[in-house]
Amino acid sequence: ELKVEQNPLFLSMQEGKNYTIYCNYSTTSDRLYWYRQDPGKSLESLFVLLSNGAVKQEGRLMASLDTKARLSTLHITAAVHDLSATYFCAVEAGGTSYGKLTFGQGTILTVHP
Amino acid sequence: GAGVSQSPSNKVTEKGKDVELRCDPISGHTALYWYRQSLGQGLEFLIYFQGNSAPDKSGLPSDRFSAERTGGSVSTLTIQRTQQEDSAVYLCASRRGPNTEAFFGQGTRLTVV
């Protein structure tokens, strides 16, 4: 069974600082997705990573995928308050569970002055 | 609208009653997912439909839970004999197929009293 683990689960950052959220998964996959969820809202897609070495950037966020290490990172550069949210990674299964999306526990990010 | 639509947005029901939650996916999306999110928690996979294939029901927590998808479009999640532990936000998502991002509805907040 595919397991997806994020760390840290809670992240308190100062504005202007950099930090990285990690997403580890347990079985082979080369398809990984990052989502953002604001309090009381639904999930919004951030990045789609579909191959080893894939890197995507949008504003202060950059996501990468290392399929050999079964690891994706979400890097935050010069954090601002607007980035405060919960971030989820989701891994797409292959084999008999082809297409199934399994989510990590989420990382609650708080950016403060 | 072009997004995933869920109804009702809120549902309060008495313990022991049955409830039906509805999801209208984005037109043309062949894959549809149901997840459950308890307060402050991650996304718990419930069930996944892909085209005409048999659904992946591996996440349904008990036989009180069932789901169907009619005509490859609208889906209904039914919970029979609701229990207080069923209280959560039920999220539906759809996507064109594997390797694409999933789009989430706003969710149905279910409260069992």
Q: Under an 8 A CB cutoff, do B45 and A102 touch?
A: yes
For residue B1, what pLDDT band results from cuts at 50, 70 and 90? Answer: low
Which residues on chain B are in Cβ contact (under 8 Å) with A33?
A: 101-102
Chain B residue nearest residue A97, CA to CA: B56
pLDDT confidence of residue A45: 96
Strand pairing partners for A74? A21, A63
Q: Report the alpha-carbon distance of residue B89 to residue B86 in Å, rounded.
A: 9
More confident residue, B71 or B20: B20
Handedness of CA A26, A28, A34, A37 (dihedral sign): negative
Select from A35, A101, A105 the residue whose CB has the most chain B CBs within 10 Å, as the one to mutate to test that interface. Answer: A101
pLDDT tens figures, A96-113 = 777 889 999 999 999 998
Q: Which residues pair with B93 in a beta bridge?
A: B33, B104
Mean pLDDT of B94-104: 91
Kindly report, residue by residue over A54-72, the tens digit of the pLDDT.
999 999 999 999 999 999 9
Mean pLDDT of chain A: 94
Closest to B108 (Cα-Cα) out of B96, B93, B94, B98 = B93
- The span from the CA of B68 to the CA of B77, in Å, is 7
Q: Within chain B, how many helices (H) and strands (E) appear?
A: 0, 10
- A43 contacts B106? CB cut-off 8 A: no
Q: Three-state DSSP class for B67? A: strand
pLDDT over 60 at A74, yes or no: yes
pLDDT at A52: 92
Distance from CA of A55 to the nearest CA of B (A): 16
Task: Please tell me the distance from the alpha carbon of residue A16 to that of residue B70, in angstroms, as a whole number.
Answer: 50
Taking contacts as CB-CB distances below 8 angstroms, the residues of chain A near B99 are 31, 48, 50, 92
User: How confident is residue B74, by pLDDT bands cut at 50, 70 and 90?
Assistant: very high
Spell out which residues of chain A touch residue B10, defining contact as CB-CB under 8 Å.
Answer: none
Q: Which residues of chain B neighbour A90 with C-beta distances below 8 Å? A: 102
B1/A contact by beta carbon, under 8 A: no
Is residue A88 a contact partner of residue A106, using CB atoms and an 8 Å limit?
Answer: yes
How confident is the model at residue B70, as a pLDDT? 87
CB contact under 8 A, A99 and B45: no
Query: Which of A97, A98, A103 faces B43 most closely, judged by CB atoms?
Result: A103
For A36-48, the pLDDT digits (tens) are 999 989 999 999 9
